Every structure is written in structure tokens, then in C-alpha cells.
Amino acid sequence: MTNIIEVEGVSKSYGGVVANHKVSMEVPVGRITGLIGPNGSGKTTLFNSVVGYQPIDEGSIKFKGQEISKMNVQQIARLGLLRTFQQTRIYGNMNGVQNMLISVSHRNAAFLDMFKPYPAEMKDKAEHLLEFVGLYQKRKLSAGDLSFGQQKLLEFAMALMNDPEVLLLDEPTAGINPTLINGLLDRLHRANTEFGITLFVIEHNMRVVMNLADNIYCLAHGELLAHGTPDEIQNDQRVIDAYLGAH
Amino acid sequence: MWDNILVLVHAPIFNVQLLIDGILVGSIFALAAYGMALVWGVMDIINIAQGEFVVLGGYVAVMMAQSGIHPFFAIFVAPVVLYGVGWAFYQTIIKRVVDKDLFTSLLATFGISILVQQLMNQIFGADIRRAPHGFGTWGFFDNLVTIEQVKLLAALAALALGGVMVLFLKKSRLGQAIRATAQNARAARIMGIDTDKVYAATYGLNAAICGAAGAMVAMIWVVEPYIGLVYTIRAFMIAIIAGLGNLSGVVLAGLGLGVAENFAGFIMGAEYQIAFVFSLLVVILVGRSILLGRKREYLK
Amino acid sequence: MSSNTKPVLLYGGILLIGIFLPLALPAFQTQISVMWMMVTFALTWDILGGRMGYNSFGNIVFFGVGMYAAASVQHELYFDIGQFEVISDQFNLQLTPDKYLFGLGLGMIIGAVICVALAWVLGSGILRLRGHYFAICTLGLGVAVGELAGTIDYIGAGSGMAAPVFPSAMGSAGLFYSYFFFILVVASFFSLKWLYSTRFGLAINAIRDDEDKAEAMGVHTLRHKTVAWTISAFFLGITGGLFGNMTGFIEPLEVAFPTITFGIFMVAMALLGGKGTLWGPVLGAILFHIIKETTWTYFLGWQWIALGVIIIVNVVFFQQGIMGYLEDKYPHWFGVEVEESNAIDDQAKEATQ
């Protein structure tokens, strides 16, 4: 099993507040890795460090063996390491199809490519993926007019459109109608198996993450608390204490 | 240009002169910047009309001098007049853009700026005007270093006014409401603060501060209808260097800008002064954003 | 009416106006030229302001640079430029038609190239700024360049320089320039129309809607932003070269880099017509120019005050502009289909309900 992301001894503090302290973890290629922890335990900080939103104080972050902790957001995204946002972000004044088309990977974009039109197969792919997340009927609607849950699905479809190797999902089920969560879970699994995308997921909903991930990391107070399979994590006393506030 | 630098090297006393002048006028720039930072921090509006308020204050001093009143008193009269002007602009225009997006408010204040410029041009004419004050000059070191009394007076007045503003914001009820609104307008509203009144007062106070600065400007230099933008840009620059809500930063940056301008004016020649101010703005903004980019950030 | 004849009628009508308007109103040829120029102003401003969400107050820089560049090329070709400070009135600036046209053409091309290079260099720095900072930085840029131009002796410093005189053998200068400006409008309109249909168009829209998201998706944001500005600069450079020749006299603050007239008009016209729409800037510019030219003389000096009022009223009460208002009200005019009208889809919908 090779690791596609390797985080080693990463620390990050804001002023005096330590958000991550010497965190190390590995994301194995082709699998689904979960990241859990109580509020304020530094999960999103770690995500932000990985995708280049902030400089890290120390440590190293490698993607496919390449050091990325000094790169900026766009360079990292073009390597094929993509994230979705906790506060969903889509292009509000563009319609669904346009949102999808602009999300096509810019990995190999040559300078003059920007003056090309979109080929028909890309449009097909966009519509196919919109169908995949169940938004085909809404594809001509302004994305800003979609409901929050639909925007979340659109953002997920946009990420798939980009053909990433790794997708970092920040709370994919937060704010989604509970009856739709099973459908979303199914699609996340299919993204992993059918499209071969490695997933790295922050999730608060324990049922979801236990069903989804093959292995789980747990953060507490900015430090790595535990690592293991869902079963091991579920029965780990330290994790239970962290969630119940014994720390 | 090189010759002028040599002068400064061989006759260090000129440096002292430029430094003193720079510090004295820098305090006036700092005053206008303080007002801009106040409006920016409380209302999230960058007021392009800042310079026009300064010039308008200058015209108050000019008018007073013309009607036989010493223009020094304009430092007290201009703020009263300008508070009214600012309040009126708030009630008619700013009120409607204060919670809209940034570009809308920016453009609305730009519109006010053009409007006031042209009104001043119609009313006072396009000629350069000054407010004669009759203050003398002190000479030191065989008159190699001179201090204009009016500049010292203006600097002291600016300092006093700044002090009054700080006390006002700290101690008075309105001042506390202004600071609360700056921190979180929604929370302030929920707690029963009438933010509309706070905004009106803030915008009026800003105009008043600018008015006082303008009265000083009219005594030290000159005013004309179209000179306002330079003061806006100076205030903006000082505010972004210092950061909002950082009074000592505003004072330091203001004095720094005053000194830098004086030296640049001496070295490059007076015709480059305006170009210098505007180019400095571009350089500072781009420089900062490149530095922030290295830290994976950008100017917000 | 079928969907194909509508654009033909529209474009044909505009073409006829472009051809016959200056002939029908010979006394207003200069006004017509300026009107077309205003359309180019609004169209090029809208690339950044409307489509990309970057509100520039400094596009006037490229207008002025193009103007000075073209005039300098013309002078270098046929005159001894060293004498130019003295000459404006007594020096003979007459040229034969072919020399005039060659000088003008070469001057405009070189001016446009310089503007593109300048936009590239400036843009890769200034376009890192966002929002307020970008707007104010470009405002500073416009004034700074204007002031600096006033210190360069080569181009006549503060007192300005003259452009070559239009050769009388070529007939009416007004007609020549009104056609030339019209061609420029057509060229820029169709270039932009095409451009907005490419990936570039979507990319700059994405930057407008959420630049952070575009970065996170790996879009080359700075590259797209810079290209957008160079395209703007290209057309403005040519416009400047033409306008300098039409006016005949170039001066830094009032003619070449007038931030508070042309510089602000660009913004006001695009907003009036509706920013971010294709026809908005065209409509806004034409309306603005006609209103301005017909009412200005009655204001007796208060016209600039009226301008301030227009901008404020426009911004405060009519943000979306004419086209934006129409698009909100009658979306089907603009081909916006929200729901599927397809019968099969309707059946599918019913089946799921």
C-alpha cells in the first residue's frame, strides 16, 4: 500500500494558539481515509495546510513524494489534489453546466488553450456528472439559486469534473437533509471505486464516517490522538473521552 | 537629481530642515487618515471624497480670512460646517450604499467627490486660494533651519484634535456605540444600538476631522477645487500601512509619509510631488501583495 | 420571426447607421466619432469590470499611452522630433495622404503593442490586488502616469504635442474618423463576443463569482486576469492613437489621461447600460453620449455637477443597468431557459411526483 499524501510533523499556530502540533498522517492511494475530532481540534487547519491556504510553521507535506508545503493553492490543485469547502463555494451567477465546464482540469492547460471553445465531449461529461449527483434537471438554473444541499452536490460534481487524484472533502454531509445522506454516501463510494479517486474526508457524523472510511485519524487539541480502522476507533477509550470532553 | 542628493550629503543641516517640515505636515495627513480609517473600520466604506472634505475645510478658512476673521479660528469653525456636510451626504447617499457591496460604496463616494469638486469650482472658481494668517517664522543655526510658526501650530492642533477624538471614542456613549458597531454591526443592532445614527455620526465626524485638516492646509499651502484626490490617496496609504484602528500606527505612518514626501520633493523637484504620491501608492500596494503572496495570503 | 433573421436585422441596421449617420449629419461627424469611441471605452472597461469583477479606474492609462505612442511614431517618421517643443503653431505638419495613413497605421500598431506590453507588466503586479485595493491602485496609477507624462520633454511635457494635420486631399476628416471609429467598435464588439464564448469567458466569470474557489480548482487566475487586461489595453491603445490624431493636439491631463472625465465615463456608461452583458456597454455608451451632448449646453457650467449626480443616482438606485434590468424582467428574451420544455422530461417529472 503506497501513500499518496504524507504529512510529517506539521505544526501550525495562529498567534499564540496552537492549531496543529507535530501532526503526522498518511493517506493511502485509492482508499477512503477519514479525519475526525471534536470542534476546534485542528482538522480544517490541517486541510488548509495541505492544499496551500496558509504556510506551515514546521514539518513537511508530500504529495506523491513531492514536497508541496511551499506551493500555492493553484499549483497544488493542478497537481490533482483538490478540496471542497466547509462553507460550500460555487460560482453563483453561472448556471450548473457552466460551473461544471470551468471546473475542467487546468493541469495541462497551455497558454492558448484559454481561447478554445469547450468540445462536445466535455459538455457530455458535465451533463453526465450532473446526472450522477442528481442535478441534471437543474443544470440551467443559476447556481446561486440552488438550495444549500444542491450547491453541495454541485460542488462535489465540479470536483469530479476536475479528475483529481485526491479529493479532500470538508464535512460533505453537513447541512444536508438526513434522508439524502445515504444517497451521498453511495456516490462518495462510487467516486472512489468507479472514478478511482482517493478520498480524504473530514466528517462529524460518526455513522457516516464509520460507513465510509477504511481507516480513520482522530485529532484532539491539535494533536494526533488515534489512528485505526473504524472498529478500532469506535472502541478506543481516548477517542471516546475526547468526544465526551474528558480531556 | 543627483546634485540634490549631494547637497543633502554635504550639508546635513538641510536634512534637519526637511525632517522637521515633514513631521509637521505629516501630522495633518495623519489627521485625515485617522478619519478615513474611522469610516473604513466602522462602515466598511473607503471614502474617496475624503480629500474633497479637506479642501472644503480649506475654503472655510479662506472665506473667514476674506471676511476679516483670523483663519486660525477656522480650525474650530470648519469642523462644525463639515460635520453638517458629512451628515447631509450620509442622509442622502451613503445611507443607501452602506450595506451594499464594496464597489457600490466606493463608486458612490467617487460620485460625491466629483460632485463636490465641481460645486467648489462653480462657487469659488478654479483659482488657487490661500488663507493669509500673518504668522512668522523662527530661524535656527543662522537661519539654515527655519520653522514656520503656522506649521507648528497646525501640528499641535492636529495632535490635540486626535487626542480629543480618542477620548471621545473611549469615554462618550456615542463613542462607545461607534466602537461597538465597528466590531460587529449586527450584534450592536441586536443590543439596541441605532446603527443608522452611529453611521451618520461617524461619517459626520470624519468630515469634521477633514475640515480641521483642511483649514490647516489652506493656511500652510493653498487650496483649489481639484487638489482633493491627493489628500484621499495620502489618507488611504497611511491607513493601509498602519492598519485600521491602530492610532499610533496612523500617526507614525502619517509623519513618515510627510517626511518621505519632503525628501522626494527636494531630491526630484516639486513637479514630481503628485506623481510621487500616486506612484508610491501603487508601489506600496503591489509590494505588500507580493510579500503576502509569498506567505500564501493576499490583501483583504 | 425566426431566430436567425433577428440578429441579421439588428447587425444590418447598426451597419446602416454606421455608414449613413455621418453622411446624414455632416455637422456632427466629430460627435459621432466620439460616440463610437465611447462604445469602445465601455466595452473594454466591461471586460474587467463587468465580466471579471475587477473595477478599474485606471484603464485610461492605455488610452493615453496609445495616443502618445502613435503621435510619437508619426513624428519620428517624418519630422525632426527634437524641434517639437517650439513648433506647435509655426511648424508645418502637413503630409501627403499615403504618408499620413502609413504613419497613423504604424503608430496605432506600435501604440497597441506598447499598451499590451505595459498591461502585461503592470497587470502581473497590480492584478494580485483584489476589490477596493485594485480599484484604488488603478486610480492612483491613472493619475501617476498622467503626472509623469507631464514631465517628459520628449513628448512635450506639460504643454503637450501636436499630431500631424489631416491631409486636405483626403476629404473630410470627420467622415474618415467616424468610419474608422465605427470599424473599431465592430472589431472590438465581435472580438469580445467571440472571447466570451471561449473558456476564457467562463474563467473570468468564475474569477468574478468566487476567485478563491477558482484558485482552489486550479484555474490560472493571474494569467487570465492579465490577458483580460491586455485585451482591454490593446483596443484602448488603438482608440487613443485615433483620438489623438482626430483632436490634433495632445496634452497630458485633459486629453491623454483624463481620469475624471473619460476615465469615469467608462465606468458610468457600462453601469448605465448594464455591466457584464454584451449589449449593455454599447447601449449605455450611446445613451450616455447622446444625453450628454444634447443637454450639456443647457447646464451653463453646471454639467459636471450633473455628471456627479448621474453617477450617484446610477450607482445608488439603478445598479443593474438597463440590460440587467431587462434580463431580470424578461429572461426569455435572452435565451435563458430555466426549466426543461422537453416533453419527455415533463413526463419524467410527472412520473416522479
pLDDT per residue rounded down to tens, chain C (353 residues)? 456 778 888 899 999 999 999 999 988 999 999 999 999 999 999 999 999 999 999 999 999 999 999 999 998 888 765 554 444 554 556 788 888 999 999 999 999 999 999 999 999 999 999 888 999 999 999 999 999 999 888 888 788 888 888 888 888 889 999 999 999 999 999 999 999 999 999 999 999 999 999 999 999 999 999 999 999 999 999 999 999 999 989 999 889 999 888 998 999 999 999 999 999 999 999 999 998 888 777 877 777 788 888 888 888 888 888 888 888 888 777 766 555 444 344 434 444 43
Task: Give yes or no for C244 touching B (CB within 8 A).
Answer: no
- From A51's Cα to the closest Cα of chain B, the distance in A is 11
According to the model, what pLDDT value does residue C347 have? 39
Find out whether C22 and C29 touch, Cβ atoms under 8 Å. yes
A47: chain C residues, CB-CB within 8 Å = none
In this predicted structure, the answer to whether residue B260 has a pLDDT above a threshold of 50 is yes
Cell of C171: 476629404
Q: CB burial class (10 A; 0-12, 13-18, 19+) of residue C5?
A: exposed
Tell whether A111 is within 8 A of chain C (Cβ).
yes
Residue A23 belongs to domain with CATH number = 3.40.50.300
Instruction: Please tell me if residue C149 touches chain B, with a CB cutoff of 8 Å.
Output: no
| CB-CB under 8 Å, B293 with A54 | no
Chains in touch with A (3+ beta-carbon pairs under 8 Å) read B, C
Which chains does chain C touch, 3 or more C-beta pairs < 8 A? A, B
Statement to judge: residues A179 and A111 lie in one domain = no
CB within 8 Å: A140 and C209: no
CB-CB neighbors (< 8 A) of B296 in chain A: 52-55, 72-73
Which residue matches cell numbers 484603464?
C59
The distance of B180 to chain C (nearest Cα, Å) reads 24
Contact yes or no for A174/A204 (Cβ under 8 A): yes
Q: Based on the fold, state whether residues A181 and A154 are members of the same structural domain.
A: no
Instruction: Quote the number of domains for chain A.
Output: 2
Task: Give the relative orientation of helices B102-124 and B228-242 as an angle to the nearest 10 degrees.
Answer: 150
CA atoms within a 13 Å half-sphere pointing along the CA-CB vector of A138: 19
Task: Give a yes or no: residue A118 inside a domain.
Answer: yes
What are the grid coordinates assigned to C93, written together?
505638419
- Contacting chains of B (3 CB pairs or more, <8 Å) are A, C
Q: Report CB contact under 8 Å: A55, B293.
A: no
- B184 by Cβ neighbours in 10 Å (0-12 / 13-18 / 19+) ranks as exposed
* Residue recorded with cell 444536508: A176
- A184 and A67 co-located in one domain: yes
- pLDDT score at A200: 94
- C-alpha B133, offset from chain centre: 21
Q: Report how far apart, in Å, the C-alpha atoms of A182 and of each of A130, A137, A172, A198, C249 are.
A: 18, 21, 12, 20, 73
Residues A111 and A212 both lie in one domain? no
- pLDDT on residue A208: 87
Residue C351: per-residue pLDDT: 40
Number of CB atoms found within 10 A of residue B10's CB: 8
pLDDT at C330: 81
Closest CA to C115 of C251, C239, C223, C200: C239
Instruction: Quickly tell me which residue has 482552489 as its cell.
Output: C216
How many CB atoms neighbour CB B69 within 10 A? Answer: 13
Calculate how close chain B gets to C97, using CA atoms only, in Å.
Answer: 39
Phi, psi dihedral angles at C106 (to 5 degrees): -60, -40
| Containing structural domain, residue A106 | 91-163
A66-67 and A81-83: which strand pairing? unpaired
Cα–Cα distance for residue pair A63/A166, rounded to 1 Å = 9
Q: All 3 cell numbers of residue A238?
A: 481516548
A237 falls within a domain: yes
CA atoms of B105 and B96, how far apart (whole Å): 9
C 213-242 → A contacts, CB under 8 A: 213-221, 223-224, 227
Q: Is residue A86 part of a domain?
A: no
Task: Supply the pTM of this predicted model.
Answer: 0.91
In DSSP notation, A152-217 reads HHHHHHHHHHT--SEEEEE-TTTTS-HHHHHHHHHHHHHHHHTS--EEEEE---HHHHHHH-SEEE
Mutate to test the interface with C, among A53, A76, A91, A152 (most CBs of C within 10 A): A91
Q: Is residue C328 less than 8 Å (CB to CB) from chain A?
A: no
Q: Is residue A205 part of a domain?
A: yes
Asked whether residue A85 is domain-assigned, the answer is no
Please indicate, yes or no, whether residues A227 and A173 belong to a single structural domain of this protein: yes
Does one domain contain both A130 and A149?
yes
Going along chain B from its start, the domains and CATH numbers come out as 2-133+158-294 (1.10.3470)
Alpha-helix runs per DSSP H in chain A = 43-51, 73-79, 96-101, 120-133, 148-161, 178-193, 206-212, 230-234, 237-244
- Asked if residue A177 belongs to a domain, the reply is yes
Domains of chain C: 19-319 (1.10.3470)
